[in-house]
């Protein structure tokens, strides 16, 4: 603080504030000058260097002075325009509680009493790179002037301006590549970057309010959808990224078990109902990206049956209607490969019964069905509880209506004569007689 009745030399491009104790008015003095400080005056600030704002920089001034502009007066783009308005006491009028942005003013200027710079002194303009955008929010109602090429749904590259009235609380995006010049009516929320969609990926989006997406489709608040186009995607201000959906690669040995979350038409043009279940295989596509209307229940592995294998499917799906048959069964014999459809259950994989010449199967019918006699080839109606035998040599695949009671080996056999005798085929006396004859033949 300078002593009273002293001289203060103010260098060029400097300023100071002097308080008059008699009138309580603070005035601004700028250099170069030599100022005599009177007894009732004192220096409250300075001398300070004037402020210079280089190109592509700005500062925010709190409580800026009121300026009066004259129509038709030429204004320099690098200097403050207008005349400062003074009150009746000779002190500069201030816009208390307001802010003013001063940008690219290379001509030095002082701060009037009451003015101060918010935050750091000088800040560079924000440069918004390609595939990025600034999220902005309006602090008060104002008319925004945006270049046409920065409008989200415009493909124009001209420098024409688009006027849009903004209301307090409204949010929007300022797209790059561009330089953003701040306004006191606007708050910069954050810098958003585009999401890169790689091959075999999709972007799941959700609308936070009713909007029209980049394809021109109207979306309601809460609705979700996928963007499948590869490349960089910048979500609109009404959209939020839920997740990046990774595609599932299908081979000839795997399938996807799907379930519909709502009624829709899938990516292959098939109508699906809510709750319906189905399979996607490599025959549909090598890569499946599930939509928002379906969910992946699990992955299904391929079932392979060899030439001498068979299995029983429970709750098989009707090929004509595509619907499962609860309680039904289906016999499947190899050689084949298939996927279990939703709702089907696989029984134990078993081998086809191979009978030798000296072997015999005793079987029983569990349900009425029409059978073919293995000996005569005639058609026979089997009733529940009926028992019969199957003799070798042959392969035998038990039908679903048949139960195998046991397997027997002939106790008396003459392979040279192709003679095999089973106990149940003859009476005990005949069996003993045959045994004696066979024994005599063998001894001779």
With a cut of 60, say whether residue 186 has pLDDT above it.
Answer: yes
pLDDT greater at residue 233 or residue 145? 233
Lowest mean pLDDT among 70-74, 236-240, 259-263, 381-385: 70-74
With a cut of 80, say whether residue 431 has pLDDT above it.
Answer: no
pLDDT for the residue 128: 93
With cut-offs at 50, 70 and 90, classify the pLDDT of residue 363.
confident
pLDDT greater at residue 319 or residue 287? 287
Average pLDDT of the chain is 84
pLDDT for the residue 391: 79
With cut-offs at 50, 70 and 90, classify the pLDDT of residue 247.
very high
- Burial readout 243-266 (b: 16 or more C-beta within 10 A, e: otherwise): eebebbebeeebbbbbbbeeebeb
**253-260 average pLDDT score:** 93
With a cut of 90, say whether residue 375 has pLDDT above it.
Answer: no
């Amino acid at each position: 603080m300078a002593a009273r009745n002293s001289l203060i030399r103010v260098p060029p491009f400097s300023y100071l504030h002097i308080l008059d104790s008699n009138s309580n008015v603070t005035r601004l003095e700028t250099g170069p000058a030599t100022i005599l400080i009177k007894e009732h005056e004192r220096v409250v600030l300075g001398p300070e260097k004037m402020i210079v704002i280089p190109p592509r920089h700005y500062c925010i001034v709190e409580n800026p002075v009121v300026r009066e502009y004259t129509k038709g007066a030429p204004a320099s783009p690098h200097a403050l325009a207008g005349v400062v308005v003074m009150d009746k006491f000779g002190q500069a009028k201030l816009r208390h509680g307001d802010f003013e942005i001063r940008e690219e003013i290379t001509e030095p200027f002082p701060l009037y009493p009451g003015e101060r710079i918010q935050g750091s002194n000088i800040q560079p303009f924000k440069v918004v790179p390609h595939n990025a955008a600034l999220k902005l929010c309006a602090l008060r109602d104002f008319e925004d002037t945006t270049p046409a090429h920065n409008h989200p749904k415009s493909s124009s590259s001209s420098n024409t301006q688009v006027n849009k009235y903004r209301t307090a609380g409204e949010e929007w995006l300022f797209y790059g590549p561009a330089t953003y010049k701040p306004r006191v009516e606007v708050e910069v929320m954050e810098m958003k970057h585009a999401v890169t969609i790689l091959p075999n990926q999709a972007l799941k989006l959700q609308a936070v309010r009713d909007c029209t997406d980049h394809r021109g489709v109207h979306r309601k608040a809460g609705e979700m959808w996928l963007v499948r186009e590869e490349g960089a995607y910048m979500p609109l201000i009404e959209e939020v990224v839920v997740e990046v959906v990774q595609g599932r690669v299908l081979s000839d040995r795997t399938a996807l078990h799907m379930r519909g979350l709502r009624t829709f038409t899938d990516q292959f043009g098939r109508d699906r109902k809510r709750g319906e279940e189905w399979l996607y295989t490599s025959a549909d596509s090598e890569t499946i990206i599930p939509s928002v209307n379906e969910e992946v229940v699990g992955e299904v592995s391929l079932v392979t049956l060899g030439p001498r294998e068979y299995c029983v499917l429970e709750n098989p799906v009707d090929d004509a209607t595509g619907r499962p048959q609860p309680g039904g069964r289906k016999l499947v014999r190899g050689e084949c490969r298939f996927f279990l459809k939703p709702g089907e259950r696989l029984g134990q994989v078993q081998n086809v019964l191979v009978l030798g010449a000296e072997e015999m199967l005793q079987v029983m019918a569990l349900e009425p069905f029409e059978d073919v006699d293995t000996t005569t080839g005639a058609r026979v109606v089997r009733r529940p509880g009926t028992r019969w035998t199957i003799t070798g040599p042959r392969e035998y695949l038990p039908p679903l209506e048949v139960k195998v009671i046991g397997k027997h080996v002939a106790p008396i056999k003459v392979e040279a004569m192709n003679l095999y005798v089973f106990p149940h085929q003859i009476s005990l006396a005949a069996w003993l007689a045959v045994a004696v004859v066979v024994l005599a033949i063998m001894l001779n």
